[in-house]
Structure 1
Amino acid sequence: MMARMSTSQAQGASGNSKSAFFTMEDAKASFNLFCCVCGIGSLAMPSNYARAGPLYASIALGFMIFANTYATLKLSKVMLVAPSSVKTYGDLGEWALGKWGRFFTVVSQMGVCLLVPIAFLVLGSTLLDVLFPDSFSQVFWIIFMAVMVVPVCLIPTLKESAGMAFAGCMGTVIADIIAVSVLQYNMRGHPSIPSPDVSLHQVLTCFGNLALAYGAAIVVPDLQREHSQPQRMPRVVVVTILVISVFFIAVALAGYTAGGCQLSGNILYSIVSTSNPLGLAPLGFSADRGAVVM
């Protein structure tokens, strides 16, 4: 009798998890994906509108939302039918296209792993120079940051590095919110925002910034392999990418409506001058130093 009851309870729990739109495990996978994708690319969202204007920037953002959601969804579905030996992004490339498939996927993955940290180190060194002006050169800060993150790079799995991914993600989200708030507050009452003089180069740069902002494909195989019900991952992927995209749109519009085409390539550079951190911001206002430091 007890065995029957426990079996029926297990079946009921399994049925509930299958019928639920989003389970706790889905939420954990979604949170991991959100933390991996939502990074420094969001800081450049307002500058996309400042460069390309509302029309072209919206078209570019809409295209990138569709392309990344569709590609990540298909990647997740392919992982469902792949054999159990396929565990990494490189394994998937080899299973689909042979040795050349592995070569191209690994090379693209190495490119991301090389170029994204460079962007992090350059941005971080500039920000540290703003926080501690006249302390060290930017080259020193880059080397210092690179040495400090070596232990983090040696963490082997996503689960073990979840806390650090959360810290990095929340740091960026908080920076976005504070920077947009500082812009909106200090630019209140301004006349109509100036429109950009759009060129092909500016539109292409907009696409480049958006490509940096999205990058979910690399982590999807690992997250899907760790999920106890991998068939639920396509839904998790779509919902998460759409939530991230809504956040990107909100940051882009909030920043652009405050400064128009006057915004810098990074929203943080619009609230403080990197050459004179204690002076006026590039847009002509003096931001609260506490807000800038935060």
Structure 2
Amino acid sequence: MEEKHGNYSYELRCATDAEKTIVTSPPTTNCNVSFFRTCFNGLNAISGVGILSIPFALASGGWLSLILLFVIAVVTFYTGLLIKNCMDKNANIRTYADIGELAFGKIGRLTVTISIYTELFLVSTGFLILEGDNLSNLFHIGEIQVAGLAIGRKHFFVVLVALVILPTVFMNNLGLLSYISASGVFGTGIIILSILWTATFDGIGFHQKGTLVHWNGIPTAISLYTFCFGAHSLFPTLYNSMRNKHQFSSVLLVCFILATIGYASMAIIGYLMFGGEVESQVTLNLPLDKISSRIAIYTTLANPICKYALMITPIKIALKDLLPRRYKNKVTDILVSTILVISTVIIALTIPFFGYLMSLVGALLNVTTSILLPCLCYFKISQSYKKFRFETIAIVVIVLLGITMGISGTYMSLNEIVHHL
């Protein structure tokens, strides 16, 4: 696998948030990445599509839930440090899956791998929903007749975007796309500034007072906040790529501080602009006749098209590796790629609720990969369970809270999805 996809692995490891999609293959080379570039890569991974749903998260939980955003930021920063500490215990660790195997054997590796691949699959599906929502909001076309079937405009745009994206999934060398997706940090900044401009200079203003707290919406808010900080599968790759690994803790600190400022700013701006009426993607609330709004929407539309292939390709490679050697050819590659894209389209058409799907990812998967697994793996590798100290107590408390968050958030997300079907 590594020889066949060596260039692919190297490109993703040295460039962008696509690095977090590599969960099982050891890196082919040492990138010797500087402190600044590692900060850029880490911030690019943490600052993703969660920026669009963060105002909806705040509206779901109310103003007091903003405290939980900072709490989750601190907890996920700490669990990021635990991943670093696990890697310090064994120089042979290269990926997140290696940490799982060192702690719990093959079951640990399998758990980590399944969790991350499922996350990648659902986030890719979310990209299609996001594209369909925003394009149908931009272009108010009627139903499309295809072979006697009436297709709604949102469904039409989901299928159209999937057809546009499909050729990029056929590629095995995604170097170009990985560098294009490096614009993610700048894209996030452009979205925040454009929406701020719309509120300040284009007549919307900050007139909504909001609500202090929505107790029923707290699980949804927590799940979406956790989704925003779910980049831990990338951290081992970032750590191994650094020229000076002793600086990794500082890298995490810089990334989490900047990402938290960005998320909190977007949450407050969006909630003050639209209050309880804010959509699961704040871009759906923006007036389409304003240039600043269109800049935010077009920037939102561009990133998923570049990132979809980066998210889905590791799953494609994993599935192909399960096949006998005689079936590993270009035809099989195209077939597997097509089936994967079709499956995400089917789910996007069946569950077209971006906010609730991302809430499910946050509660079920990001809580697992970003909170529970780092704690449990470190607990086992460091044998902290044999020592009674403050760190041990802190980890036990975080695990218990993580389990509570995961169960309640998953239940609420599934309940909302079923309710809106």
> Same fold by TM (over 0.5)?
yes
Q: Cα–Cα, structure 1 residues 34 and 83, in superposed 2: closer, same or farther, change >3 Å?
A: same
Which residue of structure 2 aligns with residue 143 of structure 1?
A: 159
- Residue 27 (1) aligns with residue 44 (2): no
Structure-1 separation of matches of 2:122 and 2:263: 21
Structure-2 separation of matches of 1:243 and 1:87: 26
Structure-1 separation of matches of 2:204 and 2:236: 44
What per-residue deviation string (whole Å, max 9, x for no partner) do you get for residues 19-56 of structure 1? Answer: xxxx980111111111122111011222222222211x
What per-residue deviation string (whole Å, max 9, x for no partner) do you get for residues 87-146 of structure 1? Answer: 221111101211121121112101211111111110112212233331863233223333
Does the 8 Å contact 1:155/1:161 carry over to 2? no
Does the 8 Å contact 2:61/2:216 carry over to 1? no
Structure-2 separation of matches of 1:123 and 1:147: 15
Q: Which moved more, 1:132-141 or 1:103-112?
A: 132-141
What per-residue deviation string (whole Å, max 9, x for no partner) do you get for residues 134-193 of structure 1? Answer: 186323322333344452685668x87542232234333312321232134423384xx3
State the AA in 2 paired with 1:70: Y
Does the 8 Å contact 2:206/2:273 carry over to 1? no
Equivalent of residue 68 in structure 2, options 35, 57, 60: 60
Cα offset, 1:206, TM superposition: 0.5
Cα offset, 1:202, TM superposition: 1.0
Which residue of structure 2 aligns with residue 124 of structure 1?
A: 131
Does the 8 Å contact 1:183/1:259 carry over to 2? no
Which residue of structure 2 aligns with residue 133 of structure 1?
A: 140
Equivalent of residue 83 in structure 1, options 91, 94, 105: 91
Structure-2 separation of matches of 1:26 and 1:207: 31
State the AA in 1 paired with 2:39: S
Structure-2 separation of matches of 1:189 and 1:79: 46
Does the 8 Å contact 2:197/2:292 carry over to 1? no
State the AA in 1 paired with 2:138: L
Cα offset, 1:79, TM superposition: 1.6
Query: RMSD of the alignment, in Å?
Result: 2.6
Cα offset, 1:259, TM superposition: 3.0
- Residue 50 (1) aligns with residue 59 (2): yes
Structure 2 counterparts to residues 186-197 of structure 1, below 5 A: 186-188=203-205, 190=207, 193-196=208-211
State the AA in 2 paired with 1:127: N
Q: Which moved more, 1:162-171 or 1:34-43?
A: 162-171
Structure scoring higher RCO (CA < 8 A, sep ≥ 6) equals 1
Structure-2 separation of matches of 1:154 and 1:223: 24
Structure-1 separation of matches of 2:173 and 2:88: 23
What per-residue deviation string (whole Å, max 9, x for no partner) do you get for residues 53-97 of structure 1? Answer: 211x2221022111111111211222222232x222111110121
Does the 8 Å contact 2:57/2:224 carry over to 1? yes
Structure-1 separation of matches of 2:78 and 2:164: 36
Aligned residues: 253
Which residue of structure 2 aligns with residue 278 of structure 1?
A: none
Q: Point out where structure 2 has 5 or more consecutive residues left out of the alignment.
A: 1-31, 145-152, 296-421
Structure-1 separation of matches of 2:163 and 2:196: 31
Which residue of structure 2 aligns with residue 172 of structure 1?
A: 188
Which residue of structure 2 aligns with residue 104 of structure 1?
A: 111
Q: Cα–Cα, structure 1 residues 199 and 247, in superposed 2: closer, same or farther, change >3 Å?
A: closer
Cα offset, 1:244, TM superposition: 0.6
Which residue of structure 2 aligns with residue 248 of structure 1?
A: 263
Structure-1 separation of matches of 2:160 and 2:224: 26
Aligned-residue sequence identity (percent) comes to 21
Structure-1 separation of matches of 2:86 and 2:272: 41
- Residue 265 (1) aligns with residue 280 (2): yes
State the AA in 1 paired with 2:179: G
Q: Which of the two has higher C-alpha Rg?
A: 1
Instruction: Report the TM-score when normalising by structure 2.
Output: 0.55
Structure 2 counterparts to residues 147-226 of structure 1, below 5 A: 147-150=163-166, 151=168, 162-185=178-201, 186-188=203-205, 190=207, 193-196=208-211, 198-226=213-241
Does the 8 Å contact 1:76/1:221 carry over to 2? yes
Does the 8 Å contact 2:279/2:285 carry over to 1? yes
Which residue of structure 1 aligns with residue 17 of structure 2?
A: none
Structure-1 separation of matches of 2:106 and 2:185: 35
Does the 8 Å contact 2:210/2:272 carry over to 1? no
Q: Point out where structure 1 has 5 or more consecutive residues left out of the alignment.
A: 1-22, 273-286
